[in-house]
Amino acid sequence: MRWMPFIRLSLFVFLAGLLPGTAFAQGVQITLGPDEIGENQTWTITITAQNEPLKNYDNFPEIEGFRKRGQSTQSTTSIVNGQVSASQSVIMTYAPTKQGTFTIPSFTLKVNGKPINVPGKKVRVGPPLQQQQQNDPFRSFFDRPGDDFFGSGDTEFVDIKEDAFLALTTSKDEVYVGEGFTTTLSFFVSQENRAPLQFYDPGRQLVDILKKIKPTNCWEENFNIENIEGENVKINGRDYMQYKVYEAVYFPLNAEPINFPSVGLEMIKYKVAKNPSFFGQNRKEDFKKFFTKPKRVIVKELPPHPLKDEVAVGDYRLDERIRHTDLETGQSAGYNFNVYGEGNISAIDKPKTKSDDKFEFYEPNVRQDITRQNNRITGTKSFSYFMIPKEPGQFKLKDYFQWVYFNPKLKKYDTLKSKLMVTVAGESKKNEAIQSSDMGNFYNKIETADNALRTMADTRWQKWAFNFFILAMLGASAYLVFKKPAV
């Protein structure tokens, strides 16, 4: 009959008014299960939102000695004295793994964007309890689940086939030694998917996944994804939502091939009620693990070159700067040799410099800036030099600063050279005595210094005089002792 739901709701409202201690305050409450259960019973943590929607909440904690069995929801609406009260509850069920006393540590759950501190407690898990039929009619009436309360019987849940997959992808299938390639681990969900899915503790799972996929023969530049956010992409003409879990650029250090094994990510997948109701539980938490396909990246040796084992690999440009091109002998000047572009910025070494009697160069100050964006690693490495001209004349700095690298896009070696020319005025400084007699600083002399121990002066005459004095004293003492007294 069409009026039957109204009768059931009226009955619930009437009975709700009879319940003592009913609170209708707005807020969120987290309730822990009992202090003692049997090994064949379950323990729960319940989040209840009173008179406000339950919009979002953190993952329930992992508890030592218990295993998550699943998650359920409940909703209740009541009218007492003309006032409407509604509540929503999410219940996580835990099953004990063994008997004993377990400590539930204090934890914090963020519900509807607000953190709630939950104090811990001890829970004793005893022997299995024999399930007994309760004869109390009121107890059996009020303890029934919401669906049973309204006469719908046990809820049947069905598994909906998901339209989603986990994939590990690389930007390139073949690279040179030192050439970067982007590796991404993503979860893809079709826009047509109807199966409810949710991430399950991705941080903890990612730690185990990275142990398996990180190659040992590569330098890693991690994009450090902190929030998993969706991005619309098209795959074979279909719309998907891509959720990046991990992203990094790898730079191979040798020519060994890189093999990524198949890895799995466990997701929460809800089963839905076959006959959903307004007040009852309409979905049930379950788990499903999604796996990637293995992936292989081929690494090639660089072409032959005298600096093959030393050069950086990437697409680079030169940005050089000098304050003045008119210099004077004996006066120091600053020069910046800045390499920028895409590649392993950390592996860029200083340019080769030529030493002669025209200039004196000091070791450069080094600074690097790395940008991780749009699936690429770009940046700048700056080398700041101080140089002292020693001879007048005009000089091309390309004769003193050169940087060789390998460009994988062009598949050839290239050289960054200075385009600046400086004019030096003044007198020659190369024949100054301080330069010609300079033997280097203290530390430079260590390798050539003789470490044999030597005395600073000839003191042999002092030893002879001291020994003679000792003998004279001994002789005088003997004379005084053995001298016969006068008669």
- Segment 233-291, tens digit of pLDDT: 999 999 999 999 999 999 999 999 999 999 999 998 888 777 766 555 677 888 899 99
- Segment 35-75, tens digit of pLDDT: 999 988 889 999 988 878 777 888 888 898 898 877 766 66
Give the amino acid at 24. Answer: F
What global pTM score does this model have?
Answer: 0.58
Mean pLDDT across 182-204? 89
Which single residue is written with the structure tokens 């042999």? 460
Residue 306 has a CB neighbour count (10 Å cut-off) of 9
Separation in Å, CA 471 to CA 304, 459, 462, 478, 480: 82, 19, 14, 11, 15
The answer to whether the CB of 249 falls within 8 A of the CB of 215 is no
**Region at 236 (left for phi over 0; alpha for psi -120 to 50; beta for the rest):** left
- Segment 64-103, tens digit of pLDDT: 889 887 776 666 655 444 455 677 788 888 889 889 999 9
**Confidence (pLDDT) at 296:** 96
First to last CA, the chain: 161
Residue 333 has a CB neighbour count (10 Å cut-off) of 19
Q: How many residues does the chain have?
A: 487
Distance CA 214, CA 261 (A): 10
Share of the chain above pLDDT 70, in %: 77
Which 3-state string (H, E, C) describes 312-365? EEEEEEEEEEECCCEEECCCCEEEEEEEEEEECHHHCCCCEECCCCCEEECCCE
- Segment 328-385, tens digit of pLDDT: 998 999 999 999 999 999 999 999 888 788 999 999 999 999 998 888 999 999 999 9
Separation in Å, CA 185 to CA 196, 209, 292, 411: 21, 10, 9, 29
Indicate whether 473 pLDDT > 60. yes
Fold that domain 27-127 belongs to in CATH: Immunoglobulin-like (2.60.40)
Fold that domain 314-431 belongs to in CATH: Immunoglobulin-like (2.60.40)
Which single residue is written with the structure tokens 């430079």? 444
**Confidence (pLDDT) at 273:** 76
